[in-house]
Amino acid sequence: MRELRVELEERSYPIYIGEGLLNETGAMFEKHGITAKSPVLIISDENTAGLYLRRVEDALKQKGYRTASYSVPAGEQSKTLALLQDAVTVALEAGLDRSSTVIALGGGVVGDLAGFVAATYMRGIRFVQIPTTILAHDSSVGGKVAVNHPLAKNIIGAFHQPDFVLYDIDTLKTLPIREVRAGLSEVIKHGLIWNEDFAYWCEANASKLLALDSEALIYALYEGCKVKSIVVSQDERENDLRAILNLGHTIGHALEAVAGYGELLHGEAIAIGMIGAARISVKMGQPQDVLTVTERIFNAFGLRTAIPAHLDTDSIMSAMMHDKKFKEGTMVFILPKAIGKVEIHKDVPISLVKETVDFLKQEG
């Protein structure tokens, strides 16, 4: 087991990454001084509940904790205020009090919903994350929690840091390969924005990671979480630096929106977005290598580097404009200046972005 500490002053917390950790849930609660007098609410989705809920409940019960559980349908459509209210009904009926804890057992959707329940129930109670996807390594660092509004994603939320994160890589072994690949895209991103050595390590270890080799996976999740944690420690409330975590996301979000959520997984969309950012960067004067190496890394993982040809360029551009990162003919972009280094550019010509989108479609 490896342990990484996210440094946020009095809100600092550890991330434990290893095998067989679900069975240690109760022991970890004790280690963190969580009282067994107050009940624990486990929030999961219907997939993760079926696979892991019983094991987490048993591990808690062995140490004398009482539990209640609430599970939502899998998928983004479960991040609503209506389901938040339902979760609070369960919490009240189970007698959760101010010393209680909410556990998020699942991927990013469950983490966002459960985290917002923990942030707001009785104005904030303890929160523990048990991520069950690779992508969730990203959302398990930084404390951003939220639900969606019919008009906008993640618009109602809070910053609420967990007490600890328990990352049992055994849970990743039930993931479909497409989700593994897409999740690794966000791990690679952390290399590309901050850690050149780690980016090259990912390329060299692509096949091990895709085969879910335990040692490689623990190392990769540790390094990925570490980059995010360094960035978040310096800018918890997203005032400036934290924006670099959005490498690939401007084009990526637009592709997700135009393709309809589902055709492209988030990790797949941002992989293409990172290729786009590298191409723009080269056009604006950075060495050709930035693009060549970025492409090589994503190719090693079998992640597509081109935009599906049937997506309409104008729709993609207009989805990007909607993202509000533009001003008078230019847009804000996070651009690589080398492998492992990025910069925030406020003056990327919209014409260059459009040209890049068109080019990436021809590749598709």
98 is catalytic: no
68 membership: H or E segment, kind and range:
strand 67-72
- Rg of the chain taking only CA atoms, in angstroms: 20
The answer to whether the beta carbons of residues 176 and 257 sit under 8 Å apart is no
How far is the C-alpha of 114 from the C-alpha of 25, rounded, in Å?
A: 17
Indicate the angle between helix axes 196-204 and 177-194, nearest 10 degrees.
Answer: 150
Measured from the CB atom, the residue of 54 and 346 that comes closer to a copy of itself is 346
Contacts of a copy of itself in 40-69 (CB under 8 A): none
- By CB under 8 A, name the one of 122, 210, 243, 284 that touches a copy of itself: 122
242 is catalytic: yes
For 166, the token pair is 């328990």
Quick one: which of 123, 262, 328, 362 contacts a copy of itself (CB under 8 A)? Answer: 123
Q: How far apart are CA 199 and CA 296, in angstroms?
A: 11
Number of residues that bind a copy of itself (CB under 8 A): 28
Annotation says 266 is catalytic: yes
- In DSSP terms, 40 is beta-bridged to 67, 101
Task: Give the footprint of a copy of itself on residues 139-158 (CB under 8 A).
Answer: 144, 146, 149-152, 155-158
Q: Does 197 bind a copy of itself (CB under 8 A)?
A: no
The reply on whether position 92 binds a copy of itself by CB under 8 A is yes
Which residues line the annotated binding site?
108-112, 132-133, 144, 153, 171-174, 186, 249, 266
Question: Distance between CA 202 and CA 81 in Å, rounded?
Answer: 39
Rule CB under 8 A: choose which of 88, 210, 212, 350 binds a copy of itself: 88
CB of 84 to a copy of itself, least distance (A): 7
What is the distance between the alpha carbons of residues 12 and 62, in angstroms, rounded to a whole number? 28
Candidates 8, 61, 66, 120: give the one binding a copy of itself (CB under 8 A): 120
Q: Is 190 a catalytic residue?
A: no
Residue 137 binds a copy of itself (CB under 8 A) = no
Q: How far apart are CA 314 and CA 125, in angstroms?
A: 45
